[in-house]
Every structure is written in C-alpha cells, then in structure tokens.
Amino acid sequence: MSNIIIAGSSGRMGLALLDATIRDPELKLHAALDRADCPQLSKDAGEFFGAPCGVRITSDLQAALQGANVLVDFTRPEPSLVYLEACRRAGVGMVIGTTGFNSAEKETIAAAAREIPIVFAPNMSVGVTLLINLVQSAAKVLSEGYDIEIIEAHHRHKVDAPSGTALRLGEAAASALGRDLASCAVYGREGVTGERDPSTIGFATVRGGDVVGDHTVLFAGIGERVELTHKASSRATFALGALRAAKFISGKKNGLFDMQDVLGLK
C-alpha cells in the first residue's frame, strides 16, 4: 500500500484528490498539505466528506514527507517547485498536474526526475490522454489542406491561458507534422490579421462559470471539418487518473513519465 500526500488539499482539485485517495483501498492518505494561512489548517481531512480519517491538514512539509511514497500536486508553479525540491531531497516520488510552468521550470522537473520518479502531465484524465493520441494520428492523416485550431474552456478561477492541456494537444499536433509549436502557435487574433497562415496552429480561450474543462481540436478543411473533443464534467476524472499515476511510480527509483506511460500507450 502506498502512502500518499495530497498538496493543496483544501482547494477544488485537492478535495477531489482527498476523496479519491480515502476511497481507494490500495492507497493510504499519509498527509494533507496546504499553505500556512489556510483556514482549514489542523482540520481532519475526512471531515470534508462527513467521516474523519485521522489525517489533519498541515503546512509542515518536512514532517509530511517522512514515511511517504508519493506526493500528488495540483497547485501553482511556485509551490510545486518547493515541493519538488523537498521530494528530491527526501526521495519521495511526485505526480505533478500543475500547469503554467515555463521552459526553465520544466527543465528543473526533468533534472529532479533523474533522482526520483515523477509523472508530469498537464491533464491526468484517461480520456484526455487518449485524445492526445487521436490528435497525433489525425494530424498525420490530415497533414495537407486542413487548418488546426484548438478551443478550450475553463472556469472563471483558472489563472493560466491557454490551458496546459490545450498546449499539450498543440504539441501533439505539431510534433506529428514535424513542426515546433513555439514557432507556429497563434494565441490571439484581433483587427485586420490577413489570411490565415496554413502552417500555424491557433488557440482560442474561454473562461467563465464553473466549467471544469472542455477541449476541442478542430481540423478544418475545404468542405469538411473533423473535431476531436473532450469534456470533463467532474474533477474526479483527474483525481482518479492522478492516483493511477501514483500507483504507477510507487516502487520506481527515478524517471520522468507522462500519462501515456501510465496507460501503456507508448
């Protein structure tokens, strides 16, 4: 049985992770982490679901790491990097679902993975992982005469745009076409932009309400469109995927993995 730490445990995603961990007979909730000014600090993590579990929310990272196997993190880049360094020193694996990292921060994660096992993916959903594969296949077939646009929608509280998932979908399409997403991505259009460059991959972002996460990759040709869409109606899908990833790296010494590794799609 793996001992799991949930970071950001009182947040929207943290609560979904807590609930899924407590329910999973193959996992043990070892610690629930949150920031020092969290109003729920010292509260029993199980009380959120009406049944105390004996694990209280804490901000003591070092104490939480003692005896742990995997830390699951869906917070922000800044605290994620703090958790990463602490896990590296303690020899504790990580599942990182945080988005918004820059290139240098991603390199830091890759470097840490030489010492500890890490699953790093912008979306832990099994369905989204499959979507990434489908986008790669579609891009190879629709490589000529089809314009690629990625449309994503999330709740009003999301702070990064485009979403990490949208960017990963863009990377999947670009790699299948032999392109570099950094060079061909278009993130906004306004005014007189001229005709669309067929070599570009466009992104459109919607923010509002309580949308958990919608992603569509549109291949628009002459006389037809192919749309590949994933819609999440609950954060539980991300939590279940993240815990599947935690089980995958339990017992591993090191390595950088993504959800395609977890699901055996590579």
User: Catalytic positions, please?
Assistant: 154, 158
- In the three-class reduction of DSSP (H, G, I as helix; E, B as strand; rest coil), residue 227 is classed as strand
CB of 29 closer than 8 Å to CB of 251:
no
Name residue 214's beta-bridge partners. 153, 231
Which residues lie below 8 Å from residue 70, measured CB to CB, with a gap of 6+? 2, 3, 4, 5, 92, 93, 94, 95, 246, 249, 250
Q: The tokens 């000014």 sit on which residue?
A: 37
What are the structure tokens assigned to 148, written together? 């690629």
Terminal CA-CA length for the chain: 26
What are the structure tokens assigned to 264, written together? 């055996």
Nearest Cα residue to 215 out of 169, 265, 177? 169
Alpha carbons 73 and 80: distance in angstroms, whole number: 7
Sign, CA dihedral 134-150-209-155, equals positive
For residue 255, is it left (φ>0), alpha (ψ between -120 and 50) or beta?
left
CA angle 41, 68, 85 (to 5 degrees): 80
